[in-house]
């Protein structure tokens, strides 16, 4: 059931109760969790936070931590699973699901007793109840009276009438089931995303008058995470940014700036260059590792490198300045960098959307000025970097910790991890293109990373493989002579566990569908695996990513090709 009043139907209900919070492994979920954690600390609500990466962990975490719990909050997990069927909870346990994954399982939508959805109802387009659920009365219409009082003719006539009615009911039921399957397929066909969970939690904090700049910054990072991981289209991102901007104006408006302590967090809205971490890197390296710019210049080719050098020269930027740290550049060049790029971009086939992104900056003290996109990249890098002898939960806690503004040392370390991740992505994409490993299978493109490739373990994570798939698709389309390339989706495979012989497979939609960001691979993967009995593992909350046995690869792809044809 969809909740309309988050405060009355959710927050007031869990007051003075101990709650279990199950959180997915993504930045938006971590930000939403930290906002909720702040509210719980204000109101002294007891809570247990458990990170979960997939359905198996979700089930295990619930079983291990549900003793004495009446309220379970699920952040970016659980919406697209029939929770009651999956977890078999006691009747008194209530689930509050704040999840941006769409579509939402119909059982969760229509369960008014145990499931409460913390979502915007305007974003859900659910089938009618009667189309997917049916109450069948199998009561016999046969007269229970004594047949001995009736003549044989009357009895046979009555039986025939009953048989006709039963046949009619069965035909009606079959038609209804056929229609139900069609309606459900159309509803479940595409994976999409709704509003950021962090933004919804911030709006709750605002409604109960407990909002602050720190919580607003977390909401901004949650919205940014959705955009840079290709979950929401640019139009939706800008819509959310406009909503956030009104809060930024409200919370950062002061009549006398002198009264603000230098250690206070200040948030500013401004247009940002779409150059990854350029303030913490050299301008040249940032351009080479930013998807839009790298693909426009084709920087993996000698011709592309030459064009980039020409572009920088035309802007009046010496190569020595561009290749040193941005912080060490000449101050007159640094301050005008955005204007210089905008003035010269048209000649090189760049448009505003490639170069400029409306975004936010946070500043505390004199040095610590951070852009939301940079913080998101750092948090992802820490979340997906599992050190030797450590567990994914340790990385989750470090990612939560880096979002605390006092933790500048962790932020510095995270910046280096994020750079390394991007360098590995660009190296691998260049390998794909040099070796002509992006192949057209007819209805889609596919590429497979070789076993034993450098930094292969970096790509065995959802967010990183998502960005690499997108980079690969854009890079291939920028060099391909096939005009249909932009209309083709991409399937990418990455070695996962050499001992078990498994690979991680992701499917992403074509570039021509960027305005909608609808992904049909979740259903396609399920159907292709079912038709061939391939050993696949659909555990992740993002249904378009799955694990598969390496040996089943060829028969799975044959099935996928025939299905999508």
- Categorize the per-residue pLDDT at 173 as very low, low, confident or very high, splitting at 50, 70 and 90: confident
Range 333-346 average pLDDT: 86
Q: Is residue 16's pLDDT more than 60?
A: yes
Token pair, residue 259, equals: 């009264």
- pLDDT at position 79 is 92
In our burial notation (b when 16+ CB lie closer than 10 A, e otherwise), range 102-134 reads bbbbbbbbebeebbbbbbeeeeeebbeeebbee
**CA dist 200 → 197, 215, 243 (Å):** 5, 11, 11
Residue appearing with tokens 């954690």: 37
Range 319-342 average pLDDT: 87
Q: Cα–Cα distance between 304 and 298 in angstroms, integer? A: 5
Domain covering 6-122, topology: inorganic pyrophosphatase (n-terminal core) (3.90.1640)
CB 444 within 8 A of CB 564: yes
Q: Residue 103: is the preceding peptide bond cis (ω within 30°)?
A: yes
Range 337-347 average pLDDT: 87
Which of these, 14, 12, 19, 10, lies nearest to 68 by C-alpha position?
A: 19
Q: How many CB atoms lie within 10 A of CB 213?
A: 18
Q: Is residue 135's pLDDT more than 80?
A: no
Q: Cα–Cα distance between 485 and 494 in angstroms, integer? A: 22
Q: Is residue 137's pLDDT more than 70?
A: no
* pLDDT tens-digit readout, 51-78: 999 999 999 999 999 898 999 999 999 8
Range 154-172 average pLDDT: 76
DSSP 208: T
Percent of the chain, pLDDT > 90?
Answer: 53
- pLDDT at position 144 is 44
Q: pTM of this prediction?
A: 0.91
* pLDDT tens-digit readout, 436-489: 999 998 899 999 988 877 788 888 888 999 999 999 999 999 988 888 888 999
- pLDDT at position 264 is 78
CB 297 within 8 A of CB 348: yes
Range 29-43 average pLDDT: 95
Count CA within 13 A, CB hemisphere, residue 172: 8
Task: Say which residue, 452 or 549, is predicted with more confidence.
Answer: 549
- pLDDT at position 19 is 95
Q: Cα–Cα distance between 235 and 232 in angstroms, integer? A: 8
Q: Is residue 36's pLDDT more than 50?
A: yes
Q: Cα–Cα distance between 362 and 369 in angstroms, integer? A: 6
Phi, psi angles (nearest 5°) of residue 77: -150, 145
Beta strands in 480-561 (DSSP E): 490-497, 502-508, 536-537, 545-549
- pLDDT at position 146 is 46
- Categorize the per-residue pLDDT at 388 as very low, low, confident or very high, splitting at 50, 70 and 90: confident
Q: Is residue 200's pLDDT more than 80?
A: yes
- Categorize the per-residue pLDDT at 258 as very low, low, confident or very high, splitting at 50, 70 and 90: very low
- Categorize the per-residue pLDDT at 332 as very low, low, confident or very high, splitting at 50, 70 and 90: confident
Q: Is residue 150's pLDDT more than 80?
A: no
- Categorize the per-residue pLDDT at 368 as very low, low, confident or very high, splitting at 50, 70 and 90: low
- pLDDT at position 169 is 85
* pLDDT tens-digit readout, 496-519: 888 888 999 999 999 988 888 899
Total residues found in the chain within this entry: 565
Q: Where are the domains of the chain?
A: 6-122, 437-564
- pLDDT at position 253 is 74
Q: Pick one of 3.10.310.40, 3.40.30.10, 3.30.2020.30, 3.40.50.300 as the CATH number of 437-564.
A: 3.10.310.40
Percent of the chain, pLDDT > 70?
Answer: 93
Contacts by residues 305-312 (CB-CB < 8 Å, ≥ 24 positions apart)? 307/348, 308/284, 311/344, 311/348, 312/284
Q: Is residue 412's pLDDT more than 80?
A: yes
The sign of the CA dihedral 301, 374, 274, 507 is positive
Contacts with 341 (C-beta within 8 Å, 6 or more apart), sequence order: 273, 315, 350, 355
Token pair, residue 46, equals: 């007891």
- pLDDT at position 508 is 94
* pLDDT tens-digit readout, 481-492: 888 888 999 999
- pLDDT at position 366 is 65
């Amino acid at each position: 059931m969809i909740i309309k009043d988050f405060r009355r139907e959710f927050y007031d209900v869990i007051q003075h109760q101990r709650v279990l919070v199950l959180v997915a492994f993504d930045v938006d979920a971590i930000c939403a969790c930290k906002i909720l954690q702040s509210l719980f600390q204000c109101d002294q609500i007891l809570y247990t936070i458990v990170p979960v990466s997939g359905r198996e962990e979700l089930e295990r975490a619930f079983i291990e931590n549900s003793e004495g719990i009446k309220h379970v909050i699920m952040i970016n997990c659980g919406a697209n699973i029939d929770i009651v069927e999956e977890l078999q909870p006691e009747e008194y346990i209530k689930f509050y699901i704040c999840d941006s994954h769409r579509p939402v399982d119909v059982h969760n939508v229509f369960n008014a007793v145990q499931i409460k959805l913390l979502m915007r109802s305007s974003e859900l387009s659910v089938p009618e109840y009667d189309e997917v659920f049916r109450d069948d009365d199998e009561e016999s219409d046969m007269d229970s009276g004594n047949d001995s009082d009736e003549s044989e003719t009357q009895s046979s006539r009555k039986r025939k009438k009953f048989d006709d009615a039963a046949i009619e009911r069965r035909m009606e039921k079959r038609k209804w089931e056929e229609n139900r399957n069609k309606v459900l397929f159309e509803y479940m066909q595409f994976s999409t995303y709704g509003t950021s969970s962090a933004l919804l939690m911030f709006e709750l904090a605002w409604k109960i008058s407990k909002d602050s700049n720190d919580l607003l910054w977390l909401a901004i990072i949650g919205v940014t995470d959705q955009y840079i991981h290709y979950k929401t289209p640019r139009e939706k991102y800008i819509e959310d940014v406009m909503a956030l901007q009104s809060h930024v104006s409200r919370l950062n408006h002061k009549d006398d700036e002198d009264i603000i302590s230098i250690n206070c967090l200040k948030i500013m809205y401004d247009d940002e260059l779409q150059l990854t971490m350029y303030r913490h890197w050299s301008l040249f390296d940032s351009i080479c590792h930013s998807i839009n710019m790298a693909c426009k210049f084709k920087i993996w080719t000698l011709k592309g490198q030459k064009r980039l050098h020409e572009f920088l020269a035309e802007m009046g930027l010496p190569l020595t300045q561009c290749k040193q740290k941005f912080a060490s550049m000449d101050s007159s060049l640094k301050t005008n960098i955005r204007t210089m790029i905008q003035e010269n971009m048209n000649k090189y086939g760049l448009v505003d959307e490639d170069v400029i992104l409306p975004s936010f900056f946070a500043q505390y003290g004199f040095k610590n000025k951070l852009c939301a996109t940079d913080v998101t990249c750092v948090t992802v890098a820490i979340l997906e970097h599992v050190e030797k002898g450590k567990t994914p939960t340790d990385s989750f806690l470090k990612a939560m910790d880096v979002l605390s503004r006092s933790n500048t040392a962790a932020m510095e370390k995270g910046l280096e991890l994020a750079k390394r991740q991007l360098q590995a992505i660009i190296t691998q994409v260049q390998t794909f293109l040099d070796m002509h490993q992006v192949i057209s299978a007819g209805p889609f493109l596919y590429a497979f990373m070789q076993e034993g490739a450098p930094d292969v373990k970096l790509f065995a994570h959802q967010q990183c493989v998502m960005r690499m798939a997108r980079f690969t698709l854009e890079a291939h389309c920028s060099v391909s002579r096939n005009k249909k390339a932009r209309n083709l989706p991409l399937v990418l495979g990455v070695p996962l566990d050499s001992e078990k012989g498994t690979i991680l497979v992701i499917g992403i939609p074509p570039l021509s569908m960027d305005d909608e960001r609808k992904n049909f691979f979740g259903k396609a993967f399920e159907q292709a695996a079912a038709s061939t009995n391939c050993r696949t593992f659909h555990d992740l909350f993002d249904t378009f990513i799955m694990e598969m046995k390496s040996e089943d690869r060829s028969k799975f792809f044959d099935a996928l090709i025939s299905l999508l044809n």
